Chain A
Amino acid sequence: MLSLAKFSLATFACAAAPAFGAAQSFVAPQGEGAFAVSAPHVLVDGKTVVNDALVVVEHGKVREVLDAKQKSKADGLPVVAHDGWVSAGMIAARSHLATRGEVEEPKRALNPQARILDVVDFAHPELQAALRSGITTIVVAPSDSNLIAGQSAIIKTHGRTVLDADAHLVIAPAGSALRINREPTSYPGAMAMLEREFERPMGAVADVAAGKLPVLLEVQDRDELARALDFAAKHKLKGALSHASLAGELAADVKKSGLSAIVGPFGPGTAPRPLDSVLALAKESVPLAFGLEFGSAPEELRWSAVMCARRGLANDHAWNALTSHAAAILGLEKRVGTLRAGCDADLVLWSGPPLELTSRVKGVFVGGVHVWGGQQ
């Protein structure tokens, strides 16, 4: 929870989005046809940077990324000239954006059929803000306050694009889901209840049991994590752990479970321990992605990655966690998270290297459509 202090900060801190009026550098293309974006540096993924490059976009997809020598291939195409860096759009692997807080059904502990997509408001300014801070794909999930909280969705932050209407089943065998006025009130009760659900699985639970639907396991403390890992192993669950701020201290077990980890957000003043936990997970090469809290501002996503990088996470690893790894965790590596040929043309135009907090978003394309920044 936010401390009193933090709350009073909120009033001005919330000011998440970059200001409108800021001078823009490039001219956005007209019409729907193929075009190219030229930039001194193009970050295809965490590892590959192409200098003095052209990103060719066609039918909303990346056709190819051309380096200086191949430029000729793009002759005749309208070119958007950008003087900074270009990268794929970032991915928030967990968020509650655009839900207006309708993220739990307090009365019932089990809501396997609940779909968060039903509450997502595509016109919500939070999506706009996310877009402006370079986030083009988000997972919207129900909160961790129900034992089985419901199904999450993956959407683009622009254009009402739904990539996956039922991405995960959110399961929270955690203190956050224990209420004193409803069953279960205890960990044993919770585990017993889950077991019952998985004995005669129905609906979404059946899909999970059959390995068709991945889970998002919401846990906080190490003992909750340990319990969740046992449960996951027993029922061969696929998917990701969420929160689990000290998961790194059990990195080996997490690795064994085959689950990936969604970490963060880490605000200013985050204690060293959770950051070191992220490093430990990375060391065990557990797939990593970053997520957002309810009420957190989109900036927190990149900030969290930078915090980890400052603590010793390799820059490319940090960036991949924001993009390609996140995509892989969501099973969307073919569509988003990189600028490889065939991926959606979700481009973010930066004033400098994306992981530099001194760099800012100058413009955003989603699915090849210019949606923010620049001049029309």
Chain B
Amino acid sequence: MKPTQTTYVRVAALRTSVAAAALLLCSDAALADGKLAIKAGKIVTAPNAPVIEKGVIVIENGRITAVGKEKDVKIPWDAPVIDAPKATAFPGYVEAHSARGMDRPNESPDIVIPFLTVRDSIDPVNFYFEDCLRSGITTINVQQGNDCIVAAQGMVVRPVGLTIDEMAVKIPSGIKMSASARRGASAPTQAQALRRVFTDLRRYLDQLVQDKKDGSDRSRREALYQGRDLEGDKAKGRAMEGTAWTVKGLELIPRGEVDEKQEPLLALVEGKMPAFVWCARPADVHVAVEVARDNGFLAKTTLVIDASCWKAADVIAAAKVPVVLQGSVMHLELDPLTGKEIETFVPKVLHDRKIPFALSSANASSQSLWYQAALCVGHGLPRAAALEAVTSAPAKILGLEKRVGSLEVGKDGNVLLLSGDPLSVTTWVERVVIEGKDVYDRSKDVRVQHLLGGKQPANTAAMNGEMLDPSKVCCDGSDEKAHAKHLEEQRRAKDKGEGEDAKPADKKDGEKKDGEKKDDSHDGHNHDGAGEHREGARQ
């Protein structure tokens, strides 16, 4: 059944309201200026650090300038203060690899596209980023999906802002590849396709240099023939670096002349670009490591592994690469001889083999990072190790260990205020501060009230609106009315320019307009989106 026109309108409208909602989350303190002080009952600066009772964190221009006991730290007179005597302050969680937050995570699986970037696919008002705030994730590495050979460049973002530029933390964060059979292929086909990418690069560069040389030889001969003085040709580019292989004479070529489709690959081989390689089966780990080693980017490689890859722990450890554990933390398989089910708790294996690993919230039940960490503690990991897997470990994988992952002077002011122990199932993220901006306050989060109380505010969609039952979206008159009412309110707000205080209000309006424009432009995607879910809901 095709989605009706109303669906489009409705979904577009939803996004508008989301943009609005996202804005509402930013409280005045954040907007005041670059300073912020946080008083918390407890401060846990890092997974294994001692707890600071009655502590203070001072953030200026996004960076932490002081952490310590209330009596030791002087709060600047002009800094707005968040006073949370009951809360525990904890570093924001870091998502080392996620294919969410984009309109569609995969390009056509059969083409090599390292010159593309997820920048053009990230949707700032995607519900995923909102969920991230809610579950305390303050840094996210967005990478293309796993269905590829060599895919686009990813980027690290913070889950706030209405434009990519507001969100951007690090561009690019690395190139995504897959060592595992993409749609409709088998393991050997995939492995060969992946290797071929680099043999082709190499032949391309060889040819480039060869042609250059031939050309200059000829002109030298021409000069001889014409009796002109010869001038030797000087290097216009820079020599190729690279630990595995290099092409001699590349310095003759100005880097600008290198095909931009090949440039990112060249950067990889020169060890100037990180790589995230997906491995769905233990056998794929061998391919991933081999290709990375043979082309000199093993040191810059992170394996994104499925639980089954615990069997390749030896290879991973030997290659000294970090991993991101995607999917379930528990690997199930049937014993081929007895038919009995064997369970393996993978993080334990990785920990025991001293393999640096990060947990991922992209798992079977899409549970959040802290929950995965908690499960690790339950299954025998030291508490510190479990927490590192969602803070400092991913930070290191993203090369951001100097900026995120713990609460130290000089690092980004990404602070979570939690209602209790980070790993307790009853603990909630009360407030989130990202680089000194107070971006999330649970008491103002209409959607968490929805999640918790099911009170779905008239002007918002259900959580993950993408998945919501269209019959409820477009066939439910009351929602339509509510939405109209909401738009009406917005218009009045604009006209009057009313609001708590004028400045931020204006600002809001300005951004709100952008928000709306953006959403209209996004309509296109939502057509099929809504269509699918219409089908989806039928199954």
A touches B (Cβ under 8 A): yes
A: which residues have CB within 8 A of B?
271-273
Contact partners of B337 in chain A: CB under 8 A: 271-273
Chain B 407-446, CB-CB to A under 8 Å as 1, else 0, gives 0000000000000000000000000000000000000000
In the complex, whether B336 has a CB less than 8 A from a CB of chain A is yes
The complex places the Cα of A272 from the Cα of B336 at a distance, in Å, of: 9
- Contacts of B324-362 to chain A: CB distance below 8 A: 336-339
Contact partners of B336 in chain A: CB under 8 A: 271
Chain B 130-147, CB-CB to A under 8 Å as 1, else 0, gives 000000000000000000
| Distance (whole angstroms) from the CB of A312 to the closest CB of chain B | 15
Measured CB to CB, the nearest residue on chain B to A246 is B339
Of the A-B pairs whose beta carbons lie under 8 Å apart in the complex, a sample of 6, sorted by A's number, is A271-B336, A271-B337, A272-B337, A273-B337, A273-B338, A273-B339
Contact partners of A271 in chain B: CB under 8 A: 336-337
| Distance (whole angstroms) from the CB of B253 to the closest CB of chain A | 50
Measured CB to CB, the nearest residue on chain B to A249 is B339
Measured CB to CB, the nearest residue on chain B to A276 is B337
The complex places the Cα of A273 from the Cα of B338 at a distance, in Å, of: 7
| Distance (whole angstroms) from the CB of A296 to the closest CB of chain B | 24
The complex places the Cα of A12 from the Cα of B338 at a distance, in Å, of: 34
The complex places the Cα of A216 from the Cα of B203 at a distance, in Å, of: 68
Measured CB to CB, the nearest residue on chain A to B338 is A273
The complex places the Cα of A129 from the Cα of B299 at a distance, in Å, of: 65
Sort A-B residue pairs by CB-CB distance and give the 4 closest, nearest first: A272-B337, A273-B337, A273-B339, A271-B336
Measured CB to CB, the nearest residue on chain A to B337 is A272
Contact partners of B339 in chain A: CB under 8 A: 273
The complex places the Cα of A283 from the Cα of B226 at a distance, in Å, of: 100
| Distance (whole angstroms) from the CB of A216 to the closest CB of chain B | 26
The complex places the Cα of A325 from the Cα of B337 at a distance, in Å, of: 29
The complex places the Cα of A271 from the Cα of B339 at a distance, in Å, of: 11
The complex places the Cα of A39 from the Cα of B368 at a distance, in Å, of: 79
Contact partners of B338 in chain A: CB under 8 A: 273
Contact partners of A273 in chain B: CB under 8 A: 337-339
Measured CB to CB, the nearest residue on chain A to B339 is A273
- Contacts of B302-340 to chain A: CB distance below 8 A: 336-339
The complex places the Cα of A44 from the Cα of B370 at a distance, in Å, of: 74
| Distance (whole angstroms) from the CB of A246 to the closest CB of chain B | 8
The complex places the Cα of A29 from the Cα of B339 at a distance, in Å, of: 55
| Distance (whole angstroms) from the CB of A276 to the closest CB of chain B | 9
The complex places the Cα of A273 from the Cα of B340 at a distance, in Å, of: 12
Measured CB to CB, the nearest residue on chain A to B336 is A271
| Distance (whole angstroms) from the CB of B85 to the closest CB of chain A | 60
The complex places the Cα of A271 from the Cα of B334 at a distance, in Å, of: 14
| Distance (whole angstroms) from the CB of B333 to the closest CB of chain A | 16
| Distance (whole angstroms) from the CB of A239 to the closest CB of chain B | 28
Measured CB to CB, the nearest residue on chain B to A222 is B339
The complex places the Cα of A273 from the Cα of B336 at a distance, in Å, of: 9
The complex places the Cα of A106 from the Cα of B456 at a distance, in Å, of: 54
The complex places the Cα of A273 from the Cα of B339 at a distance, in Å, of: 9
Measured CB to CB, the nearest residue on chain B to A272 is B337
The complex places the Cα of A271 from the Cα of B336 at a distance, in Å, of: 9
The complex places the Cα of A224 from the Cα of B539 at a distance, in Å, of: 29
The complex places the Cα of A340 from the Cα of B295 at a distance, in Å, of: 76
The complex places the Cα of A13 from the Cα of B262 at a distance, in Å, of: 51
| Distance (whole angstroms) from the CB of A251 to the closest CB of chain B | 16
The complex places the Cα of A271 from the Cα of B337 at a distance, in Å, of: 8
| Distance (whole angstroms) from the CB of A3 to the closest CB of chain B | 16
The complex places the Cα of A272 from the Cα of B337 at a distance, in Å, of: 7
| Distance (whole angstroms) from the CB of B165 to the closest CB of chain A | 53
The complex places the Cα of A272 from the Cα of B339 at a distance, in Å, of: 11
The complex places the Cα of A273 from the Cα of B337 at a distance, in Å, of: 6
| Distance (whole angstroms) from the CB of B16 to the closest CB of chain A | 47
The complex places the Cα of A104 from the Cα of B447 at a distance, in Å, of: 60
Contact partners of A272 in chain B: CB under 8 A: 337
| Distance (whole angstroms) from the CB of A179 to the closest CB of chain B | 24
| Distance (whole angstroms) from the CB of B450 to the closest CB of chain A | 40
| Distance (whole angstroms) from the CB of A80 to the closest CB of chain B | 48
The complex places the Cα of A210 from the Cα of B211 at a distance, in Å, of: 94
| Distance (whole angstroms) from the CB of B437 to the closest CB of chain A | 59
| Distance (whole angstroms) from the CB of B500 to the closest CB of chain A | 64
- Contacts of B488-536 to chain A: CB distance below 8 A: none
| Distance (whole angstroms) from the CB of A247 to the closest CB of chain B | 14
| Distance (whole angstroms) from the CB of B290 to the closest CB of chain A | 28
| Distance (whole angstroms) from the CB of B164 to the closest CB of chain A | 48
| Distance (whole angstroms) from the CB of A59 to the closest CB of chain B | 53
| Distance (whole angstroms) from the CB of B328 to the closest CB of chain A | 27
| Distance (whole angstroms) from the CB of A268 to the closest CB of chain B | 17
| Distance (whole angstroms) from the CB of B83 to the closest CB of chain A | 63
| Distance (whole angstroms) from the CB of A197 to the closest CB of chain B | 33
| Distance (whole angstroms) from the CB of B499 to the closest CB of chain A | 62
Chain B 162-202, CB-CB to A under 8 Å as 1, else 0, gives 00000000000000000000000000000000000000000
| Distance (whole angstroms) from the CB of B310 to the closest CB of chain A | 25
